[in-house]
Structure 1
């Protein structure tokens, strides 16, 4: 047995879009093509008319389209988080203002300077009891890249830009560093 995908035809099914009408239209087209006895399984969405069309079709079983079902799940999940996405979008818009970009970068630079001062002070006077741990931590801090986080602009045609924007805000929050924004 070999699985094959073949696109037989694409045609508009006229109104009404009832299960019975859909089934009859498909069966008529298969008859014209000489394929009426070749169909064993039909993959459909979960629309009640499609379910009914295949359930009425003797000798043909129905399989729900997993891609369609997954898409429905994703859309339902996105509805659940819509208020959060809207909040992320507002925060991102706020941080895209030139004044706020400048302030955010200034605050981050100050935090980096403070961390560097603390690291330098720790290097100069490590405690005797934790000398090995301090040395390891200092090596990590020295090698850790210091970066200024900047906004990621959401672009409607790039679905991943919303995800990147949300990740940016999460990363900014994850630093647990206090910063102030003035409006």
Structure 2
């Protein structure tokens, strides 16, 4: 049971962490001690995870900040400030993953991709980056599974079918590559209403 003395000690440590502006690492250590102590006392604080995420973000530890924000959202999914921070960090992780300067076989790709997928925040470009990574690291079967899944998730995306066509050709599957290329040709093409082409005349 959480007694008054234990609660006061925990809040005092939290105040010290919030006031520790000059030493980011010291603040992070205090926040983590608060989280650990709260867990030992049997409760989870969305706010503590939230402020720890902010401290980690300011230190440039974006992936760790995202992990803390996921914990904050789990503890209090309706808190708008936490939701906004979560979406902001997720967007920056997606941008980092899809950075054009990142090499296709960059070792960080699977880690960033896994973070986004686990949180339900991976978009089309995130999936395509992972397909390119699998191809670049000679994991063609994995690339094929991912590419097929992406065309299912985003059937109207030309890039998804193009990726599948490239992977299928790399595997020597000409039939599937040709079928995917046929999809590329028709994606985005509007079918005339009732099959009638041309302008309506009064």
Same fold (TM over 0.5): no
TM-score (norm 1): 0.23
Q: Where is the strand percentage greater, Structure 1 or Structure 2?
A: 1
TM-score (norm 2): 0.22
Q: Where is the helix percentage greater, Structure 1 or Structure 2?
A: 2
Tell which has more relative contact order, 1 or 2 (C-alpha 8 A, sep 6+): 1
